[in-house]
Structure 1
Amino acid sequence: MTPRAKEISIGELARRTGLAPSAIRYYEDEGLVHPERTAAGQRRFLRSDIRRLSFVMIAQRLGFALSRIRELLQDLPDRRTPNARDWSRISTEIRGELDQRIAQLERLRDTLDGCIGCGCLSLETCALYNPDDIVGAEGTGPRFVVDTEKRPGRSPGQSNREDPAS
């Protein structure tokens, strides 16, 4: 395949990814793809940009911000097809972040029916989980969901300052 045959137009990239050309130009402005320009000013993308933009779309669906996606892609070569090792590194990194999000979502799901440590004490069960609003002193927001990773083995209502053995 000649070097030119490895390149595709923005229209072909749009057709292959399902993205509008305006979205592709936006991702270019965001530094996520780096097309070459012809003498006439037309953008020419590598075929590997299909995979690159597909990753961007998947990462966005998983809730990653464009700034984080850019960080993940920054070490990938702009004009070289990413190899298996490149994608493996990103996959390993993203899996850890996804595992953390999944754990947080599971904690949220498991506390929805009870006190979440927001300090409102409006439910009868909140008085049991959070007597005297102990959690209110630990900060704002839903502390039992947000801070669970700081409290290994602690149950709702157990302060960070309490000994879990007592």
Structure 2
Amino acid sequence: MLASRTGVAVSAIRFYEDRGLLRSWRTDGNQRRFLRSDIRRISFILIAQKLGLGLDEIEGQLANLPAGRSPSLGDWQKVSRSMRVAIDEKIELLSRARNQLDHCIGCGCVSLPRCQTMNREDRLGTVGAGPRLVLK
């Protein structure tokens, strides 16, 4: 039921359960059962993954939710507030990358002798390696 409701494969649900992101209990017939709120937990996992969070980060956030009962609105808001800084940082990085794609990919330039557009005389090389205009 959880797999069909969330669109997540049973194997992924088992994986999430093994990682401690979900908790089930067994019926007398040895079938796994989940709380109704686990639909939200899986939705959170899917959204967080799309945002680029790793499973360790997701696990850390879900650990802030109560075990054995459905999280309240306040519980979810606490998780949301704790994620805002990381999400805002990702939005800023994505915006810088999008804006640089038209010109150059943040100047870790492959043709330094010819690049006069964004990084004359490789002045960004003194700041550090890699795409300095994007990864500040």
Q: TM-score, normalised by structure 1?
A: 0.72
Deviation at residue 40 of structure 1 after TM alignment? 4.7
Distance across 2 between alignment mates of 1:113 and 1:15: 42
Cα distance 1:44–1:96, how it changes in 2: closer, same or farther (>3 A)? same
Give the alignment partner of residue 140 of structure 1, picking from 99, 113, 129: 129
Instruction: Tell me if the contact between 1:117 and 1:136 (Cα under 8 Å) persists in the aligned partners.
Output: no
Partner of 2:53: 64
Instruction: Tell me if the contact between 2:64 and 2:79 (Cα under 8 Å) persists in the aligned partners.
Output: no
Partner of 1:120: 110
RMSD: 2.0
Amino acid aligned to 1:143:
R
* Structure 2 unmatched ranges of 5 or more: none
Distance across 2 between alignment mates of 1:67 and 1:120: 34
Distance across 2 between alignment mates of 1:18 and 1:123: 51
Deviation at residue 145 of structure 1 after TM alignment? 0.5
Percent of pairs with identical residues: 47
* Structure 1 unmatched ranges of 5 or more: 1-11, 148-166
Deviation at residue 122 of structure 1 after TM alignment? 4.5
Deviation at residue 87 of structure 1 after TM alignment? 0.5
Amino acid aligned to 1:84:
L
Deviation at residue 113 of structure 1 after TM alignment? 2.8
Distance across 1 between alignment mates of 2:93 and 2:40: 29
Instruction: Tell me if the contact between 1:119 and 1:135 (Cα under 8 Å) persists in the aligned partners.
Output: no
Q: Does 1:20 align with 2:14?
A: no
Q: Does 1:30 align with 2:19?
A: yes
Alignment of 1:1-166 (within 5 A): 12-115=1-104, 116-122=106-112, 126-147=115-136
Deviation at residue 121 of structure 1 after TM alignment? 4.2
Amino acid aligned to 1:117:
C
Deviation at residue 137 of structure 1 after TM alignment? 2.5
Deviations 1:38-81 (Å, cap 9, x if unpaired)? 35543221111111111111111222111111011012112111
User: Which aligned segments of 4 or more residues in structure 1 are displaced greater than 4 angstroms?
Assistant: 121-124
Q: TM-score, normalised by structure 2?
A: 0.86
Amino acid aligned to 1:36:
W
